[in-house]
Amino acid sequence: MNLIVARPAGLYCPPGDFYIDPWRPVESAVITHGHSDHARVGHARYLAHDKSAGILRSRLGDIDLQTLPYGESVLHKGVRVSLHPAGHVLGSAQVRVEYAGEVWVASGDYKLEDDGTCAPFEPVACHTFITESTFGLPIYRWPQQAELFADINQWWRSNAAAGRASVLFCYAFGKAQRLLHGVDASIGPIIAHGAVEPLNRVYRDAGVNLPATKTVAEVDAAATSQALVLAPPSAQGTPWMRRFGNYSDAFASGWMLLRGARRRRGVDRGFVMSDHADWPSLQRAIDGTGAERVFVTHGSVAVMVRWLRERGLDAHGFQTEYGADDVADQPAPTAKPVDAEQILPAGPAPDARDAAS
């Protein structure tokens, strides 16, 4: 039985008549998390984890939103749906779908390391698992969190001693709050860009402990030279950056593991930090489900599929319109048209809503 099939609007559950992270407007959408490639405007009804509510409403406006805590289920047209921690960002969830004794889990995006800003990943037993593979290559292995923050703190401390601001470019939702939670706030003031601060408030409202942040206008020139500045990549090269004078800059991303990535970004330092699972974590997560069939989405699909098949699993890859990297705060790239016959077993013909979207 195929509980989730591909349609032009996204991943669809035929018996339940709902979609998971659809990329075109639909009637009923279950959302794994608030990044823009997974949570889009235009759906009639949304279902998400309760800690995603603040993010979704801030980004999508006044939507018809039903929320669930982790582990609690709803029965919709005979299909039991529940949400389980994905460890990606605040409110991120894996979607468990059960019908007629069959269990599928759509993971959305996930990571296994507990970063202290969201509920840590929990493996969910299932027959079929849908996994991301953003960093699905053996070269991607993240440093331990203690090592990462020791490096960031030392960089900030050295810059402050030399009278230079430390500008750290990071994505506004998830990455910035993880950095805030982990740095040593005693080194100096922390300045948050205007794109970052509203999301900090959402995290604080959800009970996540973050140190105090200020706008650049609230910090005098002398203190600015001691500051850590968290800014989105879009701020690089803008007039806003002139306020920090002779600053040192860095970029936090999983891509910083690649030798040329820092050079292309044009920054002084690169810190290897991702909110996605690295290669060993992808393997552990898939093993933890006990699934016999795995569908692999966005990222290094071919490599992951081959590795899974070599281990005796029934593995397949398919295209989606989810982000191919961790630039999740930017508009999602346009993917090639989804061919349901080549991806997942095809469901019923698209209805009028799908055809018109």
Condensed to tens digits (0 to 9), the pLDDT of residues 287-319 reads 999 999 999 988 899 999 999 999 999 999 887
Owner of token pair 């990455």:
175
Contact indicator for 114, 92 with CB cutoff of 8 Å: no
Residue 25 pLDDT = 97
Residue 344 pLDDT = 46
Stretch 71-95: mean pLDDT, rounded?
A: 97
CATH tag for 145-272 (out of 3.30.1330.20, 3.30.1360.170, 3.40.50.10710, 3.40.50.620): 3.40.50.10710
Residue 265 pLDDT = 86
Contact indicator for 60, 78 with CB cutoff of 8 Å: no
**What phi and psi values does residue 255 have, to the nearest 5 degrees?**
-70, -15
Average pLDDT of the chain to the nearest whole number: 90
Domains of the chain, by residue range, sit at 5-140+276-356, 145-272
The angle at the Cα of 171, spanning 187 to 84, to the nearest 5 degrees, equals 105
Q: Would you state the structure tokens that stand for residue 24, as one six-digit string?
A: 């075109």
CA distance 324 to 133: 9
* DSSP helix/strand/coil, 292: coil
Predicted confidence (pLDDT) at residue 345 exceeds the cutoff of 70 = no
- The rounded percent of the chain whose pLDDT value lies above 70 is 90
The separation between the first and the last C-alpha atoms of the chain, rounded to the nearest angstrom, is 27
pLDDT in tens, 96-133: 999 999 999 999 999 999 999 999 999 999 999 999 99
Q: Would you state the structure tokens that stand for residue 249, as one six-digit string?
A: 């800059």
Q: Count of CB atoms within 10 A of residue 292's CB?
A: 13
Q: Tell me, which fold does domain 5-140+276-356 have in CATH? A: Metallo-beta-lactamase; Chain A (3.60.15)
CA distance 299 to 296: 8
Contact indicator for 236, 70 with CB cutoff of 8 Å: no
